Chain A
């Protein structure tokens, strides 16, 4: 069993996954910071950081190259914000046979659609950037914040999906409608082109064909790369950290993530649960257990007084906390033996290095 401290000390790649709004970006930044505090050279790839956090990380605007964080650390921490389009452009340049071919692709309208708006492209480029940093960069640890998605596999599948896309048999038929070696294939191709044109219009199909013609010869490079990225994601040096919040719906989504990862044979290395309701030591204060029910009863008896409001605030908090634990019980069992690290809601907003360090102290506790 490994704690998060072990993960930031030993892992080479950490992937933070989970549904939107659970604090994935913050958790990713904290893990990179903790690695740097331990003398490592870390970089965090953020997808869509909140503005203040981006400012704290020195990320004004899109910075597809890592930037150093100014902080007093034993190691170094860098951050970058993923620029999907320029990452994709870089891939095209890398695998094109000559600048002309790259140019033909980069100026194609269909490519423009794929590179900027295609669903799954962001996931693919995040894993591509991860690979580039992990394999070609001088980093001890690369932490990746994944795009918000309901399916953990979108991130895992993304490299393969593009490779499949480029290699689709029907497109290969479309690409050679005039070469017609086998006539029957051509007739089928014509039917497909006609059907497609009916649905999306002839212009789009023409753009698509031009794109695939321009891409010819590059599929091999893309496929090899996709396979290499896939291998890295599944290797032992890569740790998946599942991030969740204790609310019923996000716990359900996290459970679904865990299930999907499990089906892929990938272990969850740790479960981080953000936004836990603090209980202020109500379990032990005064040698007695104060529960939501006892606090609520006092609040009701004392309604209309200031002390009644104090009890009401405590009852509200404990009621939430008790519910949180009920929701989490099943999820904790599901990721067992991975440690479950609970991060309480803070009385301040976490959007600067100081805040990240405070969360870091909570994340690095030993296993429970």
Chain B
């Protein structure tokens, strides 16, 4: 599948996954990839995390849009902004001519109470604002860094929950607008991220079915982060391998390499088992991103991951997104 076609399939991609699987890195890499494919991309970060700012080596993200990747020959550009529930609520009230009471609601603490009283209201306000940004069309693609897995489900479910709980009024309208957005694969897809390990894979499978059944949102390919490359040479014992290459090992080095390679092979075997199982239990195509063996991601690493995203998309069958 052509990457430009892939990114053009919907104006909003929601990236979700269990904590610790590298969701923010994948969000960033996808944004860079989309930008390379000519899409003006906006990243929306809703948890106010700083990880993205350090990857792009920019200042902290803020409510106002910040340029992460400048528009240049190769790049259509990536911008990013935060969108916290409080921001969304104030916008919501201002849009409805309620700006004056918004101050009072905030200062009295009543806003907190409303949010407490009507669960999901924070989520629906955020999603409603995302919908508004989507509709305004100031970008070609929005990539939303969703809350961690369990919360992602309740986050996306908030629309249907609120459409029932609040049966009339502006929140109800908002909930219905968001439901419409989520249900339309031409506008919105969810990309789930995992690591090639048992627990994150289990959670991903559960999340995938829950999102499809309960939320009715279209699922894009699964992104597997941190995939170990195959090293077939590890099957040969280090001493034998050294002889074959006409090199000699220092004392104790053969044992060191043996321990290291056995460990690597064991992890790789866990990975293969889990990826195979995921393919069997979940009929979604997989995009594999390589393990980078560094825990500090910077711009270079993101460019490299973006290249892997593009390779992965190119390897997908046409129309195999959902």
Contacts and interface: CB of A to CB of B under 8 A. Distances in A.
Contacts of A199: 93, 98, 105, 114, 169-171
Contacts of A170: 108-110, 113
B252 interface: yes
Interface string A112-146: 01101111100000000000000000000000000
B108 A201 contact: no
Interface in A188-238: 192, 195-204, 208
7 contacts: A21-B148, A50-B199, A50-B203, A113-B119, A165-B113, A248-B296, A306-B241
A114 to B, nearest CB: 7
B256 A201 contact: no
Contact of A307 (B21, B172, B244, B297): B244
A6 B169 CA distance: 58
Interface string A149-193: 010000000000000010010110000000000000000000010
A317 interface: yes
B97 to A, nearest CB: 10
A280 B170 contact: no
Interface stretch (B8-16, B67-75, B214-222, B258-266): B258-266
Give 3 closest A-B pairs by Cβ, nearest first: A21-B20, A20-B19, A286-B252
Contact of B113 (A171, A285, A302, A312): A171
A94 interface: no
A118 B158 CA distance: 12
Nearest to B243: A307
Interface in B161-176: 161, 165-172
B308 interface: no
B104 to A, nearest CB: 8
Contact of B50 (A22, A204, A252, A280): A252
A302 B250 contact: no
Contacts of A302: 245, 247
A280 B263 contact: yes
A249 interface: yes
B267 interface: yes
B57 interface: no
B60 to A, nearest CB: 13
B193 to A, nearest CB: 11
Interface stretch (B127-135, B136-144, B178-186, B232-240): B232-240
Interface in A95-114: 109-110, 113-114
Given A302-B247, A351-B198, A324 B295 contact: yes
Interface of B: 18-21, 24, 47, 49-51, 54, 93, 96, 98, 101, 104-105, 108-110, 113-122, 148, 150, 154, 161, 165-172, 197-200, 202-203, 231-236, 238, 241-242, 244-245, 247, 249-253, 255-257, 259-264, 266-267, 270, 291, 293-297
A84 interface: no
B260 A280 contact: yes
Given A117-B120, A168-B109, A195-B98, 15 more contacts: A119-B119, A148-B19, A148-B148, A150-B47, A170-B110, A200-B166, A248-B51, A248-B297, A280-B256, A288-B250, A306-B236, A307-B245, A307-B247, A320-B294, A320-B295
Contacts of A65: none
A285 B210 CA distance: 50
A305 B105 CA distance: 69
A278 interface: yes
A314 B256 contact: yes
Contacts of A61: none
Given A113-B165, A290-B253, A310-B233, A249 B24 contact: yes
A22 B200 CA distance: 12
A256 to B, nearest CB: 10
Contacts of B253: 285-286, 290
Contacts of B109: 168, 170
A171 B113 CA distance: 9
B36 to A, nearest CB: 24
B280 to A, nearest CB: 17
A195 B103 CA distance: 12
Contacts of A120: 116
A265 interface: no
Contacts of B104: 195
Given A118-B119, A348-B270, A349-B270, A306 B244 contact: yes
A345 B257 CA distance: 17
A280 B263 CA distance: 9
Given A114-B119, A302-B245, A317-B264, A20 B18 contact: yes
A262 to B, nearest CB: 20
B156 to A, nearest CB: 13
Contacts of A316: 264, 291, 293
A64 interface: no
Contacts of B203: 50
Nearest to B171: A200
A85 interface: no
Contact of A113 (B118, B235, B238, B293): B118
A165 B116 contact: yes
Contact of B294 (A192, A313, A314, A319): A319
Contacts of A245: 20
A281 B49 CA distance: 36
B295 A204 contact: no
Interface string A235-252: 000000000011111101
A171 B253 CA distance: 72
A285 B296 contact: no
